[in-house]
Chains A and B, each alone.
Chain A
Amino acid sequence: MRFGHFAAALALGVATAASAQADTTFRWAFQGDVQYVDPHSLNETFTLGTLGNIYEALSWYDRDLNLIPSLAESWENVEPTKWIFHLRQGVTFHNGNPFTADDVIFSWQRTLTEGSDMKGYGRKATAINKIDDHTIEVITPTPNPILPRDWVFMYIMDKEWSEANNTAEATNVKGGNEGNYASLHTNGTGPFKMVDRQIGVRMLLERNQDYWQDIPSNVDQVIFTPIAQDATRVAALISGDVDLVYPVPVQDWGRLEAAAGVKPLAGPEARTIFLGMDQDRDELLYSDIKGANPFQDQRVRLAFAHAIDIEAIRRKIMRTASYPTGLLIGPAINGYNAEVDSRWPLDVDRAQALMAEAGYADGFEVTMDCPNDRYVNDEAICQAVAAMLARIGVTVNLLAQTKSKYFGKVLAQADFDTSFYLLGWTPSSLDAHNPLYNLMSCRSDDTGAGLFNLGGYCNARVDELAALVEKETDPAQRQAYIDEAFQIHWDEVGHIPLHQQPLSWGVRDGIELAQRADNVLDLRNVMIVE
């Protein structure tokens, strides 16, 4: 057929070889690669979300982000600090091993090993006891009414397989146990198996024919390609080389609407983009101010907040597609309250006055860490922030780099090596407690609280409230605690929230899928209808 169809192939401009194989091959591209296929290596939405097609957890989200049972059929909170999970029977891993309680206990322990980035998940429990092969009892350190939500991304690995392949510890993103088997191979219970992977080039998934449940998807084979350059990625969709790309730069929406056979798919994302400042060290690591930390002065943080022109960012950089916010959570998150969501108005004069009051009338220099391939127009936002801060005398040295380098620098594993940064956060449990615990609580190595509180904001009352929120079961009282915590955090300018970014996907006509607000592509919902 090769050359007989050459002309037709040219006219279509589509990879015709694909049609020769199977009609149900789904091709998609993202701006970066799955960082690590070890499910406990990196707590990052894209990596975990994509691995969710291979690995599974006790619970999962449906297309509308409702919590649904997965490897656990049901659960009950029998005592304030005790949960019972009834595990699904008859589930097998891709290698044929049966899924049992031992696998859950093993995986939980693995999240607590040194290289794990999922310690915050693991520390939600102090013990897991096996009652029988398909029933476990989980003891939590404090009452936790939302444990099944907290563990949506805590994936279960096969104990026997892991031990046989000497990968009982999580692969450390900083290095140390290179060649860890689980960083190159997978063995989950999910609807797809990884059959081939070339890092940075492509990942090939095949349908797991023994999957334990019926799913809408009719896809047999999935080819994932990372395409770093925005222009190339959009071009690949328009020319028909791939079926789905994301993110689509917001500036290219118009073009996708105009082009035939493709369309943009947009909606508000559950992710909030915000700025963070190191308030923990007594001297900033990257600043010309020595012997003091300007960010420990609330007036400086407030001055920064007043200097940000969020409307300009929304109109110009986000092309009116973002949702400015004053909170670290958006409307999609359980616990969001519009009444406490207010932004600091743009007020350069007041910002300058605050700087002068704090003793920095001439400003200061600070280095800003920024990813350049993680969030929608992340580097452009950082550049704009740098220009806006220049107006109050602050010289921002922008350090924008690829996400692996960025995360390798700012996260806990590198000892929070940053002074000023831009980060995005999607609460994986879709509940306000998640950011309260991860972003706003004082950092604690023991409890795993504040693991992503990169700036080290710390207020004892917020910690108290976070604990109260975790165990409060009365919705009104719980909301009151949440509101109080966010109000304190807002008053003290613990972080400077910017906006909820838009979900920005581009799909080919004839593909049906669910665009989840957490920006996760669940292949279970992908259908190729033509």
Chain B
Amino acid sequence: MLAFIIQRLLQSILVMLTVGLIAFGLFRYVGDPISNLVGQETSLAERDALRERLGLNDPFFVQFARFAANAAQGEFGYSYRHRRPVEDVIAERLPATMELSLVAALLALAVGVPMGIYTGLHRYGVISRAFLTVSLVGISIPTFLIGILLILLFGVELRWLPTFGRGEVVHLGWWSTGFLTTSGLQALIMPSITLALFQMTLIMRLVRSEMLEVLRTDYIKFARARGLTNRTVHFGHALKNTLVPVITITGLQLGSIIAFAIITESVFQWPGMGLMFIQAINDVDIPVMAAYLCLIGFVFVVINLVVDMLYYLVDPRLRVDRAVAAGHPG
């Protein structure tokens, strides 16, 4: 057990180092830190002095070590555009994205799992086929188009829901939440549905195929042979066995949802990290890009680690090829 944990931890650290290296490369070589700091009239001598002072003449790995040490403490320097420490900007935007992603994930689970079970059990039913067709149409319409259509219908034609932003937020310490106000909850509805749709179809299809797989096993056949009712077999035996991979993958998908929020946030002008990242790309605001990358990398690594540990706890022999099971997180 300990060996496993240590191995996984080492691996995670390696991943973070890789991500950090990419972020550092961005930071150091893509946006020239010097020309972003000085004006036109700065002389060459002054530039060299600044270069020396910022330690840009040090050997590569010394610089990287410094970057990594700062990053580990959450320091990424100043945003070119916002003129504030990047970590402050991110802290301001983090709650918006987290709340949106969480609601979307729950929504995806709450709708996706029952639909998956149903279509798994009633493979040839009319409703199942309808579900599958709708889900296929659903993943074929790009997220942004769905968002636009929702805004047009519910925001503008029917005027039921706000069309942009987060509504009123309440500040709890540094965290700002939209859960506590009516307008905040209303503002959450359309973006979270938009964000959840793709994951919903993914979960539905996953649950369905897991159900089909399990129902074919000898274990289930044996259960039936014992004369158990369909209900007991389906929900007592089959469902229980499908849930482990489903929960794993949903957990892993949480990271994807956070990243996918980029699109949704951009359509709904949701003031989260995704919108910030898009603005940073447009402005070539390298420190913000680097920090966002590191943060997302960190989130993914942590989720992966937690899932691995849980897996190990549940069944040490279980070695599911998660990549295949996860499908294609596009």
> Quick check: do A and B touch in the complex, using CB within 8 A?
yes
**Hey, which bits of chain A sit against chain B, CB under 8 A?**
2-3, 5-6, 9-10, 12-13, 15-18, 114-115, 171-172, 174-176, 178-180, 183-184, 198-202, 225, 227-229, 231-232, 235-236, 238-241, 401-402, 404-405, 413-415
* Contact with B39, one of A172, A238, A405 (Cβ below 8 angstroms): A172
The verdict on A232 contacting B269 (CB below 8 Å), with A5-B182, A10-B160, A405-B283 known, is yes
**Main secondary structure on A side of the interface with B:** loop
* Contact with B156, one of A201, A238, A405 (Cβ below 8 angstroms): A238
The yes or no answer to B143 lying at the interface (CB within 8 A) is no
The verdict on A235 contacting B39 (CB below 8 Å), with A9-B186, A198-B271 known, is no
* Contact with A178, one of B83, B152, B160, B282 (Cβ below 8 angstroms): B83
Contacts of B151 in A (CB 8 A): 231-232, 235
Considering residues A2, A180, A235, A404, which has the most beta carbons from chain B within 10 angstroms of its beta carbon?
A: A235
Closest chain B residue, CB of each to CB of A12: B159
**CB pair B182 A114 closer than 8 Å:** no
**CB pair B81 A402 closer than 8 Å:** no
**CB pair B167 A239 closer than 8 Å:** no
Contacts of B80 in A (CB 8 A): 175
**Main secondary structure on B side of the interface with A:** loop
**Hey, which bits of chain B sit against chain A, CB under 8 A?**
36-42, 78, 80-85, 89, 92, 148, 151-152, 155-156, 158-165, 167-168, 181-184, 186, 267-269, 271, 275-276, 279, 282-283
Contacts of A3 in B (CB 8 A): 182
**CB pair A15 B148 closer than 8 Å:** no
A404 to B83, CA, bound (A): 14
The verdict on A174 contacting B40 (CB below 8 Å), with A17-B181, A229-B269, A239-B156 known, is yes
Contacts of A199 in B (CB 8 A): 81-82, 84, 89
29 A-B interface contacts by CB (under 8 A): A5-B182, A10-B186, A13-B155, A13-B159, A15-B168, A16-B183, A17-B183, A18-B168, A174-B39, A175-B38, A176-B37, A178-B83, A179-B78, A179-B83, A179-B85, A199-B89, A202-B271, A231-B151, A232-B163, A232-B267, A235-B155, A238-B156, A239-B156, A239-B162, A241-B163, A402-B282, A402-B283, A405-B282, A413-B39
A17 to B42, CA, bound (A): 51
**CB pair A13 B162 closer than 8 Å:** yes
Contacts of A13 in B (CB 8 A): 155, 158-162
Shortest Cβ gap from B289 to chain A (Å): 15
A180 to B81, CA, bound (A): 13
A390 to B17, CA, bound (A): 51
**CB pair B38 A232 closer than 8 Å:** no
Beyond A174-B40, A183-B83, 8 additional pairs, beta carbon < 8 A = A13-B162, A15-B183, A16-B183, A184-B83, A199-B81, A232-B164, A236-B162, A241-B162
The verdict on A227 contacting B283 (CB below 8 Å), with A17-B183, A240-B159 known, is no
**CB pair A114 B279 closer than 8 Å:** no
List the 7 shortest-distance A-B pairs measured between CB atoms, nearest first: A13-B159, A17-B168, A201-B271, A235-B163, A15-B183, A17-B183, A178-B78
